[in-house]
């Protein structure tokens, strides 16, 4: 629209000038030495206009020739940029769709002229790993570090993540330990390091790392609670290091000490070291709060006076008359003391509340010890196996420890 307006204005001006020249063409005389030229004003103006246009076009041509190398270079750069962006987009799409081989080829081919080489190399490394080409993966990560040394931390972090994903736990641990030296409070580094220790079952190292993780506000509790639980369970279950177990136990809070996941392995440790009274004290304290089956089983296997155990179990039963776990534990004690009548009573009461594998199994065991027919006992064992309660029978198969009873 603007160009049309300019053309219209130019035509109007030209028409005005042409009309004026038609009315009075004018006279121009140019002389130099012996030379002289006579013409009308209109012709002179036309010649000047032609000369101006010729001069302007010549100047533009010379400038274009002068700037030709730069213009060609810019055009070539823009063309390469466009091609590299297209290759990057295709590579990312192929990677997202699982076409790892084609993605790797496209991304590496366009990496050197890409405006985002880090994205090219890291995605190519992921594609190479997906193909099982770990050597090529590491090569791409090294190239990324050489190309963009200012992003070396992100590159090493990516390497550690890929190593973990490839189950290369020892290599990942080495990478993460280097990163921890450089950034000791980095939340992702700490989280991945925790995962590496767990995969390698290095529970001592994981336990020592936990305080730094708990203090880090950028790490949510849900990310480390399960790892802490596993580490504590394994450390409290170590049979050969009583001092280390005691150290871990003392660092637990009151609530943790009453949890079956931690208390049961500690009780086993106390039992192995013949600290029966201390084990009894902790179990009674915990069972006063919850009649957990694992705690009841641990209490049943304590090497203390059987009558004492029975009285304590009966005390807990008074406050939870329909608790099948307590009823089954009492039946187990009665079986141990050959109190067939009481054992039968407790098992019948347990089965009337909720049929469980434990009750059926103990009933079969009771019949065997009473000398009943094998068929009757086998019928109860079959009911135990077919019972909807899928609790394991391992605890029932183990005999109570009564060596000091």
Residue spans per domain, the chain: 242-405
Could you tell me the end-to-end alpha-carbon distance of the chain, in angstroms, rounded to an integer? 109
CA proximity to 170, closest of 192, 197, 210: 197
Q: Which secondary-structure segment (H or E) carries 119?
A: helix 117-130
Tell the residue number behind the tokens 């089965």, with chain if given: 351
Cα 104 versus chain centre, distance: 24
CA proximity to 190, closest of 126, 182, 361: 182
339: helix, strand or coil = coil
Contact by Cβ (8 Å): 402, 300: no
Q: What is the CA radius of gyration of the chain?
A: 45
Q: What is the pLDDT of residue 17?
A: 63
Tell the residue number behind the tokens 């003392």, with chain if given: 250
CA proximity to 284, closest of 261, 311, 256, 320: 311
- Please, which residues have CB within 8 angstroms of residue 220's CB and are 6 or more apart in sequence? none
Contact by Cβ (8 Å): 141, 121: yes
CA proximity to 208, closest of 172, 248, 263, 259: 248
Domain 242-405: which CATH class? Answer: mainly alpha
- Please, which residues have CB within 8 angstroms of residue 349's CB and are 6 or more apart in sequence? 327
Q: What is the pLDDT of residue 404?
A: 41
CA proximity to 338, closest of 365, 299, 298: 365
- Other C-beta atoms closer than 10 Å to the C-beta of 326 total 24
Q: What is the pLDDT of residue 216?
A: 93
Geometric angle at alpha carbon 330, from 321 and 323, rounded to 5°: 30
Per-residue pLDDT of the chain (405 residues; tens, 9 = 90+): 776 877 776 667 667 666 666 666 666 677 777 787 777 766 766 677 777 777 777 777 777 777 667 656 654 555 555 566 666 677 777 777 888 888 888 888 777 777 778 888 888 898 899 888 999 999 988 988 888 888 889 899 999 999 999 999 999 999 999 999 989 999 999 999 999 999 999 999 999 999 999 999 999 999 999 999 999 999 988 776 778 888 899 999 999 999 999 999 999 888 888 898 999 999 999 999 988 888 988 988 888 888 888 899 989 988 888 899 899 899 988 988 888 899 999 899 998 998 888 889 998 988 888 887 788 888 888 888 887 666 655 455 454 434 343
Written as one string, the DSSP assignment of 191-213 is HHHHHHHHHTT-HHHHHHHHHHH
Which tokens belong to 28? 């121009």
């Amino acid at each position: 629209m603007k160009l049309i307006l300019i053309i219209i204005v130019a035509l109007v001006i030209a028409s005005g000038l042409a009309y004026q020249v038609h009315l009075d063409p004018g006279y121009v005389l140019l002389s130099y030495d012996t030379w002289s030229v006579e013409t009308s004003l209109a012709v002179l103006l036309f010649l000047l206009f032609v000369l101006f246009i010729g001069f302007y076009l010549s100047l533009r041509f010379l400038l274009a020739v002068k700037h030709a190398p730069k213009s060609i270079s810019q055009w070539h750069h823009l063309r390469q940029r466009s091609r590299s962006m297209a290759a990057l987009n295709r590579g990312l799409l192929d990677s997202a769709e699982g076409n790892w081989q084609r993605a790797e080829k496209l991304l590496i081919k366009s990496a050197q002229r890409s405006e985002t080489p880090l994205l090219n190399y890291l995605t190519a490394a992921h594609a190479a790993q997906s193909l099982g080409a770990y050597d090529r993966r590491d090569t791409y990560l090294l190239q990324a570090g050489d190309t963009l040394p200012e992003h070396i931390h992100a590159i090493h972090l990516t390497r550690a993540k890929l190593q973990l994903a490839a189950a290369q736990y020892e290599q990942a641990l080495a990478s993460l330990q280097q990163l921890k030296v450089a950034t000791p409070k980095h939340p992702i580094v700490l989280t991945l390091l925790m995962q590496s220790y767990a995969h390698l079952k290095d529970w001592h190292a994981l336990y020592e790392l936990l305080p730094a993780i708990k203090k880090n506000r950028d790490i949510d509790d849900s990310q480390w609670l399960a790892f802490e639980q596993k580490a504590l369970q394994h450390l409290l279950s170590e049979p050969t290091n009583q001092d280390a177990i005691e150290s871990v136990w003392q660092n637990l809070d009151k609530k943790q000490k009453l949890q079956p996941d931690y208390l049961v392995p500690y009780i086993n440790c106390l039992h192995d070291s013949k600290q029966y009274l201390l084990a009894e004290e902790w179990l009674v304290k915990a069972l006063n709060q919850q009649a957990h089956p694992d705690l009841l089983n641990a209490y049943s296997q304590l090497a203390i006076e059987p009558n004492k155990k029975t009285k304590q179990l009966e005390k807990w039963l008074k406050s939870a008359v329909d608790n099948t776990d307590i009823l089954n534990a009492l039946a187990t004690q009665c079986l141990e003391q050959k109190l067939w009548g009481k054992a039968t009573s407790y098992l019948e009461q347990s089965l009337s509340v909720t049929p469980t594998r434990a009750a059926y199994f103990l009933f079969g065991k009771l019949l065997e010890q009473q000398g009943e027919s094998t068929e009757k006992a086998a019928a109860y064992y079959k009911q135990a196996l077919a019972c909807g309660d899928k609790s394991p029978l391992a605890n029932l198969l183990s005999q109570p420890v009564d060596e000091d009873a």
